[in-house]
A and B are shown apart, each in its own frame.
Chain A
Amino acid sequence: MTTWTDYLLTDSPSSRRQARLGQMYRKWLAFRRNPLAMVGLCIIVALLLVAAFAPLIATADPLAQNLDRRLLPPSATNIFGTDSLGRDIFSRIVYGTRVTLVIVLLVVVSVGPIGLLIGATSGYLGGWVDRALMRMTDVFLAFPRLVLALAFVAALGPGLENAVIAIAITAWPPYARVARAETLIIRQQDYIAAIRLQGASQWRIVWKHVVPLCLPSLIVRTTLDMAGVILIAAGLGFLGLGAQPPIPEWGAMISAGREQIFDQWWVATFPGIAICIVALGFNLLGDGLRDVMDAR
């Protein structure tokens, strides 16, 4: 036990890998000291576990309709009650974690790198490249995100994939902005001048020296943004433009429950709580990450 913490925390690591691992371990130690961040991490880990083991956790088939058992209140058999088609809400929420995760992952995978690359390139090269790219982001930033996403979904047609594409298209500009702002500061630094003086190509400077420094704030921003992405996905679902029935998507579930909201409160309430908890989890995690990663 002590041997590997010694290995990680030594002041004179003897290999590249040891130095990197040590650095990460120190970050983890700092992160662990923040209880709220740990709560956030637990929520996200729980989300992952629920998604992975959904078939084991769910008490019923999320798609199985049973019109005899419509709109039953929470009970021992259906702990969150049933919806207007007699489906078990608990099971639908459990399977809904998969939908949420797919949306989140696809958005992260597409938005992060695009925003980072556009922002870093724009900031580092400056000149007309910068002006062209930034005016493009301005155009995207000029619309409220949900409205723009709506427009895209309307054009592409409703569905989960299109919802993800719409969210990704509307989500990258702020990332590019953040990356550009960071790059503008970074490129003034002597260590970038030093790398230029070693004859490095511009591509190499941006990719190997500027991007790694923009990364932490971008990871933090992405994490904090996840709550927003989940809400937009839910919003699109609620408007019927996201995941299509019968896929158990939380936003669509709330939407389906809105007609019964006064008489059968559980139909809309439980998916709402699920969205709330996951969004909160990402926010807490993001705050914790910011404290650890942005401290230079």
Chain B
Amino acid sequence: MTTEPAIRVENLNVSFGDSHVVKDLSFSVGSGESYGIVGESGSGKSTVLRVLSGLNRDWGGTVEIAGQTQPKIRDKAFYRAVQMVFQDPYGSLHPKKTVDDTLAEPLAIHGIGDAERRIGRAMSEVGLPASFRFRYPHQLSGGQRQRVAIARALVLEPSILLLDEPTSALDVSIQAEVLNLLQALRRERKLTYVLVSHDLAVVAHMCQRLLVMQFGRGVEEMTAQMLAARSPQTDYARQLLTASEGFRRD
């Protein structure tokens, strides 16, 4: 490898009061790679994303992004490089702001001119018709809201996108559209993804490598091929894989 990893996490530890939710976690994500984190509720997978994004400021260990060690409180430049898409499209858009307001805000914060062109570009990239620009979230469907959330993340032209269960609140047909969109964006913009999900099939579809987490620990790291070949090494990963295949009567 000649290029340094986009993200490198070393011995990450996070505690909320008495509960130790992430324990000695280490992994790295190559530039332009799509990396999945899989686990059940309470595995700490979302917490990892919140640490990477700077939302969670109470952690120990090392987080490097593009070769730079990250402090607990990130500077403005960081947010131009790393953006996040949240799980619930109904909760991640400000109810009193139009699509236009939502997309213009990051540009205003960073003092970027040229808002008109950038907003137009972001909207067309995520497949939102221009006529939606002045709609409020309640005038949009779940899938359209998630497209707005993706556009908001893209408008600052980041190189890393953190995806927290981006489709688990959507219908399967809408999920397919959003996943296709995310795939296409990654190809075009050479983005690095970290995708957190409970759905193995989604992670296998989207990612080249993935990490299985349980009780705050990384249980097993594997490639998507290993997952598809049903050859995980640990019991827990195998159990998760079997469970995801549906109900079995014995």
B-facing residues in A1-46 (Cβ within 8 Å):
11-16, 18-19, 23
CB pair B110–A199 under 8 Å, yes or no, is yes
Q: Which residues of B have CB within 8 Å of A209?
A: 94
A13: nearest residue on chain B (CB-CB)?
B134
A213 interface residue, CB < 8 Å from B? Answer: yes
CB pair A12–B131 under 8 Å, yes or no, is yes
Give Cα distance in the complex from A197 to B152, angstroms.
11
B59 interface residue, CB < 8 Å from A? Answer: no
A-facing residues in B99-115 (Cβ within 8 Å):
100-101, 105-106, 109-110
CB pair B95–A19 under 8 Å, yes or no, is no
CB pair B53–A195 under 8 Å, yes or no, is no
B236 interface residue, CB < 8 Å from A? Answer: no
**Stretch touching chain B among A186-194, A240-248, A253-261:** A186-194
Distance between A265 CB and nearest chain B CB, rounded to angstroms: 51
B88: nearest residue on chain A (CB-CB)?
A190
B162: nearest residue on chain A (CB-CB)?
A197
B-facing residues in A187-212 (Cβ within 8 Å):
189-191, 193-200, 204, 208-209, 212
A-facing residues in B38-90 (Cβ within 8 Å):
53-55, 74-76, 78-80, 82-84, 86-88
A296 interface residue, CB < 8 Å from B? Answer: yes
Q: Which residues of A have CB within 8 Å of B84?
A: 193-194, 197
Give Cα distance in the complex from A296 to B91, angstroms.
12
CB contact between A190 and one of B86, B135, B139 (< 8 Å): that residue: B86
Give Cα distance in the complex from A199 to B95, angstroms.
20
B74: nearest residue on chain A (CB-CB)?
A199
CB pair B136–A23 under 8 Å, yes or no, is yes
Give Cα distance in the complex from A12 to B100, angstroms.
12
Most chain B CB within 10 A, of A23, A189, A191, is at: A191
CB pair A13–B135 under 8 Å, yes or no, is yes
Q: Which residues of A have CB within 8 Å of B136?
A: 19, 23
CB contact between B105 and one of A23, A200, A213 (< 8 Å): that residue: A200
Q: Which residues of B have CB within 8 Å of A213?
A: 94-96
B83: nearest residue on chain A (CB-CB)?
A197
CB contact between A11 and one of B53, B86, B98, B139 (< 8 Å): that residue: B139
CB pair B79–A18 under 8 Å, yes or no, is no
Q: Which residues of B have CB within 8 Å of A190?
A: 86-88, 91-92
Given A18-B134, A190-B92: A204 touches B152 (CB 8 Å cut-off)? no
A-B contact count (CB 8 A): 82
B132 interface residue, CB < 8 Å from A? Answer: yes
Indicate with 1 or 0, residue by residue over A205-241, a CB within 8 angstroms of chain B CB atoms: 0001100110000000000000000000000000000
B122 interface residue, CB < 8 Å from A? Answer: no
Give Cα distance in the complex from A189 to B100, angstroms.
20
Most chain B CB within 10 A, of A18, A189, A204, A213, is at: A189
Q: Which residues of A have CB within 8 Å of B152?
A: 194, 198
Most chain B CB within 10 A, of A23, A195, A198, is at: A198
Distance between B51 CB and nearest chain A CB, rounded to angstroms: 13
B76: nearest residue on chain A (CB-CB)?
A199
Q: Which residues of B have CB within 8 Å of A193?
A: 55, 84, 86, 92
Q: Which residues of B have CB within 8 Å of A11?
A: 135, 139
CB pair A197–B134 under 8 Å, yes or no, is no
Give Cα distance in the complex from A18 to B133, angstroms.
12
CB contact between A198 and one of B105, B133, B134, B149 (< 8 Å): that residue: B105
B93 interface residue, CB < 8 Å from A? Answer: yes
CB pair B134–A14 under 8 Å, yes or no, is yes
Q: Which residues of B have CB within 8 Å of A200?
A: 105, 109
Q: Which residues of A have CB within 8 Å of B134?
A: 12-16, 18-19
Distance between B188 CB and nearest chain A CB, rounded to angstroms: 22
CB pair A191–B156 under 8 Å, yes or no, is no
Q: Which residues of B have CB within 8 Å of A16?
A: 98, 100-101, 134
Q: Which residues of A have CB within 8 Å of B105?
A: 195, 198, 200, 208
A23: nearest residue on chain B (CB-CB)?
B136
Give Cα distance in the complex from A194 to B106, angstroms.
10
9 A-B pairs within 8 Å (CB atoms) are namely: A11-B139, A194-B84, A194-B152, A197-B79, A198-B105, A198-B109, A198-B152, A199-B110, A212-B96
- Per CB-CB distance, the 7 closest pairs between chain A and chain B, nearest first, are A12-B131, A199-B79, A19-B134, A190-B92, A198-B106, A13-B134, A190-B86
List 16 other contacts, CB 8 Å, given A199-B80, A199-B106. A12-B131, A14-B131, A16-B100, A190-B91, A191-B93, A193-B84, A194-B86, A194-B92, A196-B54, A198-B105, A198-B110, A199-B76, A199-B78, A199-B110, A200-B109, A208-B105
